[in-house]
Structures are given as structure tokens and as C-alpha cells.
A and B are shown apart, each in its own frame.
Chain A
Amino acid sequence: MIALLIRDMRLAFRAGGGFGLGLAFFLILAVLVPLGVGPERGTLALIAPGILWVGALLACLLSLDRIFALDYEDGSLDLLATAPVPLEGVVSIKALAHWLTTGVPLVLVSPVLGLLLNLPVPAYGWLLLSLTLGTPALSVIGTFGAALTVGLKRGGLLLSLLVLPLYIPTLVFGAEVVSRGAQGLAVGTPLALLAGITAGAVALLPFASAHVIRINLR
């Protein structure tokens, strides 16, 4: 299991591994939005939480189709399915590797990009906390979508269409935490719901993902 995590991380950081793709997208979005919206600081501060969360979500989406498609094409997925590791574990490790290479960098750069978007000062802590709590759900739900589309050629479009509705609750509560935090309101309820979504997704979806992979490999 650890070997699989190390392999996936190593592959992500090697040439053509896709590390930095989501990060670059997130950066571009945060730089372009102020240029497009205009320099009114009030407007930017108002939309910053939503923009940052949408940016993180789309950045996650970019690299989802790589999770299983590459392993499917070169036959590794067949071999992993017949190896003495539970497929549920393989799926969880893949989601964890995706989170470590995509989600964690997004969380770490988000305060810098918040600066570009004139995010109010009290919101920075909540931005970090909400992204830390929410991005694992994005990775796990995305892994499920990738598992559903694993056998399809150019399944990227279908994957996005399948995953986007499942991302909406995370987005709603995540952005709500940040915008409430920016206004100095209580954030307990959306934060609890966000954490609940993540906990539920992490606990349940690997079983569903492993099952659809078994079906897709037939």
C-alpha cells in the first residue's frame, strides 16, 4: 500500500506526471479574475471566497482523469486488481495520492491568491481550514468519477459531467465558511456540514469506486 502511494507520488513529480497542472490553473484564475472584474476592492472582497473555492474545485477536476486512465491503459490496473491488495485500499491510496499532489498544494497557495483577490483579513484562517477539510472530499468523489469512466476512451467530458453535481455540496458549504468568516459571522454549521461530507465520502465512496472498477475491468 505504501509502495503504491510512493509510486503514484513519484510518477506525479516526474516529467509529464501532471503535478502543478492544477496549481497553475488556480494561479491563472486568481490572477485573471481581478483583471476581468476590475479593481474595485469591495467587489473583489465580496466574490473572493467563491472564486477561490471554484478555482480549487476546477483545479482538482483537471487532473481527475489521470487517476485511473493511465493505469488502465498500461495494464497496471488489471495487475493491481489481481494483486494481494484489496481494491478498496488501492482506490483509497489513489485518492490520497491525488489529494497530496493536487489538494495540498492548492491549500498551501490559497492564502497568497487570497491576497490577489483582496480577501478580508479574518477570512484567511477559515479559507485554509475549509480547503483543508473540503479538498479530501473533492479527491475522493473525483476518484469515484474516474472509476466510473475508467474504460472509456476520452472519458474526460463524461467524468466532469458526472462529478460536478457531486461537488456542489462541498462547494456551497466550503465557500459559505469563508464568506461567513470574512464577515465575522459564526461558521460552525457550514464547517460541520463540510467536515461531514468529507468524512462520509472518505468512509463510503472507496467501496463504491472499487466495485465499479471491478465491473469496468470485465
Chain B
Amino acid sequence: MSLKVTDLACARGGLPLLEGVSFVLEPGQALVLRGPNGCGKTTALRTIAGLQPATAGTFDFLPDSIAYAGHADGLKATLSVTENLTFWAAIYGTSGIDHALDRMNLRQLADRAAQNLSAGQKRRLGLARLMVTGRPAWVLDEPTVSLDAASVALFAEVVRAHLAAGGMALMATHIDLGLPEARVLDLGPYKARMPEPSSGFDEAFL
């Protein structure tokens, strides 16, 4: 069970962003995607998560192995922390949210409505959701946004435990997570060439 991506090319809004991205993620490994804003990190992650089709390239992994976490946490404001987590556990067919509550330090907030959480607390809840999915490959888009230093360390600890249990993590992040074992892939060199501007008369009408 590994996550293998070969010659991935993806586009956003019809504009090609990346091409020729290849990597292999074995169980227990983490890969951090880097690159300047707008270079296609989010698009690559959304493509791998199956939210949009790749323009080229092959994937070699089970689609059911991936748990995706994007910029938004997918929390319902009027539901409590426990209700939010229990819902996602039920959707993924797992049970027991206590472990996730404890590990992300949400125990004291368990009965509070998500709308009354701070930005960092919401983020912690969003990350706790990953732990109840029971899926081996975490695909994370900027997981540490609005987390304080202590929470980043907490999160790094959770990722390390996940890797130790045979999981994988693919992350786009700008900051140092404190995961020295994670490999880094700079997406800068994979920038897609702009398509040749067509001067065809017919194309002007398409």
C-alpha cells in the first residue's frame, strides 16, 4: 500500500499549472510540498484527492485510502465539537472520537458549539477529523494555518504517530513542522509551460 504519482499534470480554471510531478510515498513516510503562492500546491492536492481530474499522468493508489483536508475545515457552526466529530466518524464508518479529542487537546471544548471556537481551535477540530477517518493517506492543504506554536507541535506529534502506525502524509505548508523525517518536494521547477497562443482564425470563434 503506497501512494504513487507519475507525471501528474493539473490545471486550474483552464490554466495549466503543473506538469511532470512524480513521487512515491511509502507507508510511514511524509512528503511536504513547497513552492511560492499560486504555484499549484492546492490544485495538485485536490487532484490527488480526486476532486478534479488530472490533465495528464497516472495515479497508483486506492482512492479509498485518502483523507483530504482543505483550507476550510468543514465544520458546522451550530453543532458542538462532539457532534461535528461524531458526524464525520459516522460518515467514514468508524467509531470512537475520544482518541481524537484527547490528542488534539479538545477535551475541554467538547460541548462547545463550533461557532464559539477561536480560529486555531477550529483548525484543531478540523485536524482531529482526520484522525476519525481511519484512512492511511492524509492529504493536507496548509494544515497549520492559524495554529499557535504549541498546537503545531501537537499536530506534528499526531502526524508522527500516524506515520509510525504505517500511515502516509502529503502536506502543502510554508512553515517548518518540526518533522525532520519528512521529505520536501519543491513544486517550483514543475511549472507548466504556457500553451502556445494560437493565431488560427477559426479558433478565435471558439
Contact = CB atoms under 8 A, between A and B. Distances in A.
**A and B assemble together:** yes
A218 B79 CA distance: 28
Nearest to B86: A3
21 contacts: A2-B90, A3-B86, A7-B76, A10-B79, A14-B79, A15-B78, A16-B78, A74-B72, A74-B75, A75-B71, A75-B72, A76-B74, A76-B76, A78-B68, A79-B68, A79-B70, A81-B50, A82-B50, A83-B92, A84-B93, A85-B91
A16 B68 CA distance: 28
Interface of B: 49-53, 64, 66-79, 83, 86-88, 90-93, 129
Classify chain A's interface size: 20 to 34
Contacts of B91: 3-4, 80, 83-85
B115 to A, nearest CB: 10
Query: Is chain A's binding surface mostly helix, strand, loop or mixed?
Result: helix
Contacts of B93: 84
B90 A218 contact: no
Contacts of A81: 50-51
Contacts of B76: 7, 11, 74, 76
A76 B84 CA distance: 11
A3 B83 CA distance: 10
Contacts of B88: 79, 83
For the complex of A and B, the 6 pairs showing the least CB-CB separation, nearest first, are A75-B72, A3-B90, A14-B78, A218-B52, A76-B74, A79-B74
Given A17-B78, A83-B91, A217-B51, 9 more contacts: A7-B76, A11-B76, A14-B79, A75-B72, A76-B76, A79-B68, A79-B70, A82-B68, A85-B91
